Amino acid sequence: MIRILTVVGARPQFIKAAPLSLEMQRRGTIEEISVHTGQHFDENMSGIFFRDLKLPSPRYNLGISGGTHGVMTGRMLEAIEKILLDEKPDMMLVYGDTNSTLAAGLAAAKLNIPVAHVEAGLRSFNRAMPEEINRVMVDHVSELLLCPTATAINHLATEGITSGVHLVGDLMFDAVLALSDAADRTSTIHADLGLERKRYAAATIHRAENTDSKERLEAVIEYTLDQANGLDVVLPLHPRTRQSAERLSVNLDRKGLRLVDPLGYLDMLVLSKGAAMIFTDSGGLQKEAYFHRVPCVTLRDETEWTETLDAGWNRLWTVPEYKARREISDYGTGNSAGSIVDILEAYGTGEN
């Protein structure tokens, strides 16, 4: 049996991990040792996601959060290295572009443990973003690069990475297909908030580029309220955004802006699917907006999910109009987890 150490730390990673972990359990060919760094640590940002997604509790919970990027990443690297030395896995599996991802990738690479990177090859080409640095560095130490789109594969080829590269589609699409019906049956978010489908907008704001500056945070909020065209904007408030608003004295008590606590996955899925439009700086929600065929505005100056722009379902807030709409084939048919497990099995048995 192949032993794989999986490291997650933030909400989007829990969503991606769910279908893949369940597929590993179903096959019975891989022993998954899960580690939660604690990067997202409170109940609404972490615990509720494990329950909604039916993820088993992680074997290790490091409880590491807060501090500068360097401090957080260093503490994680040290803790993950110890686990790797104790567990001696055959492979490290990481997701996306967080500090947890970078720490895990570096720890494994320095111990000559192969790294498999889910969502490899994404690029925003903005090196001021910590996430861009993380994803580039992890791609360059990975043995298996599991790409969601053909564009991601092209980015890797441009950087000279062609070995171990696979197009596998998008695990978040797997999760949406698997859980959409259950969310509709169990979520009471519309009733709880007194919302009517397609009579409100949904928003998320959490990235440092939008929350570290008073001027930028106010501009993003004012833009969102203006573009909502009179619809109430429901904003599940990320802890970073709440803290930044308090620190920067940004008034969030505005007409048309409905603040709610962070939501679990099933509630957020229903909220997004029922919205008339979505405003977000989250990469995952840009894609989920497309999965639900809800028009999206990305509150950033660039995005790594460029196919959503090209297909006309998403636009940057700096661009006034959408392109002509079309379907996106890159994200697969909802069996990305199966494709990834096939690749992991083949690699683990020396067939890849």
Q: Which residues does the annotation mark as catalytic?
A: 206
Distance separating alpha carbons of residues 40 and 240, to the nearest angstrom: 11
Length of the chain, in residues: 352
The secondary element (H helix, E strand) that includes residue 275 is none
Q: 334 — alpha (psi -120 to 50), left (phi > 0) or beta?
A: left
Q: Is the Cβ–Cβ distance between 47 and 134 less than 8 Å?
A: no
Which tokens go with 218? 């106010």
- Write down the residue that tokens 């409170």 correspond to: 42
3-class secondary-structure state, position 126:
coil
Residue 247 corresponds to which amino acid? R
3-class secondary-structure state, position 108:
helix
> What single string gives the DSSP state of each residue in 176-215?
HHHHHHHHHHH--HHHHHT--TTSEEEEE---HHHHS-HH
Which tokens go with 124? 């925003």
Q: Residue 144's CB: how many other CB atoms inside 10 A?
A: 23
Backbone angles phi, psi at 162, to 5 degrees: -130, -20
Backbone angles phi, psi at 253, to 5 degrees: -90, 80
Distance separating alpha carbons of residues 71 and 313, to the nearest angstrom: 38
Q: Is the Cβ–Cβ distance between 125 and 151 less than 8 Å?
A: no
